[in-house]
A and B are shown apart, each in its own frame.
Chain A
């Protein structure tokens, strides 16, 4: 068995038992001191570069959540709603056509949020303009081009439709 697969469980047990148990102990505490949170932070930092550890922590997160009743009938519908919200919120428009960004820049300029060039490059100036626009319509002001932002920015439903149809195909 190769050492870089998840089927070598004996090796995994040997290498990861200590760190996973420490993670479970800290994760199961009702409150965390700064020192305990720093320890957790170090474990999570290690998981950022270690695929097996990351995999194990997720599986044990599942167990911990089950044990703490965080995956029960009371919580799950809330999670599903939040997941749906995130899908909507985090959908960003990233077409490759600069004409799309020029259209956005023009809309921002027409509404007084953008004073830069209509160059089709969605750079820092454009992001700042989006931030100001988002704040003005009570959206989270982070410069991220979400579906909600584009829909609010478009002056008419027809324009919104044109903009949202410009999305690049999913090539994940």
Chain B
């Protein structure tokens, strides 16, 4: 039986905040960062914002609208909620707006697009072919785990139970980021070496 839009929304959130999902911490950290940027980090936790995001998701699907790429939608909605909360806080003269935070000002020096992408590419190439295929199906094509499972079976892979497949997907993402960190260090080292010559 196919899921209703509301059930699909619930599955998105349950999936995203499942214990082993490596994207969960990144999204929470992203929201923490926006709370810092708007001086609201003493007033709200990321979870407060995410609960409001979820409530807006419910309204959205009840109104017949779809959410095509959930993580992007969650990030955007969270940022706009925090902007609204900031405006409200200013309106009522909320006293606890605090901008003080140690902030690194050399972020763009740290992030070098070509080198980071190169590290990503090398990390991706170090994944097994079946892991690469899983990422492409899940991450790029945004397939549900059920659809990923069907896609893999069609490609001749054995059938996985959904929970096992989901855990495998999480492991692959974690592995990718670990490899990515390794590759990034190597690339940065080469880059720094050549730069200093």
Chain B residues with CB below 8 A from A86, complex form = 13, 17, 47, 50-51
Looking at the complex, which of A89-97, A102-110, A156-164 is the stretch in contact with chain B?
Answer: A89-97
How far does the Cβ of B97 sit from chain A's closest Cβ, in whole Å?
11
Interface size for A (C-beta < 8 A) is: 70
A9–B113 Cα distance when bound, in Å, is: 12
Interface size for B (C-beta < 8 A) is: 78
With contact pairs A20-B113, A51-B139, A63-B111 given, residues A171 and B101 touching in the complex (Cβ less than 8 Å):
no
User: B18–A54 contact, CB under 8 A?
Assistant: no
Most buried by A among B102, B118, B136: B136
| A172 at interface by CB-CB < 8 Å | yes
| B185 at interface by CB-CB < 8 Å | no
Chain A residues packing against B (C-beta within 8 Å): 4-7, 9, 12-13, 17, 20-21, 24-25, 27-32, 37, 40-41, 44-45, 47-55, 57-65, 67-71, 75-76, 78-80, 82-87, 89-92, 94, 96, 140, 142-144, 170-172
Between A and B, 22 residue pairs with Cβ closer than 8 Å are A4-B140, A9-B117, A9-B121, A24-B111, A25-B108, A27-B107, A30-B99, A40-B79, A41-B79, A47-B75, A51-B139, A58-B71, A61-B29, A68-B33, A68-B103, A79-B24, A82-B46, A87-B17, A89-B47, A94-B6, A144-B58, A172-B146
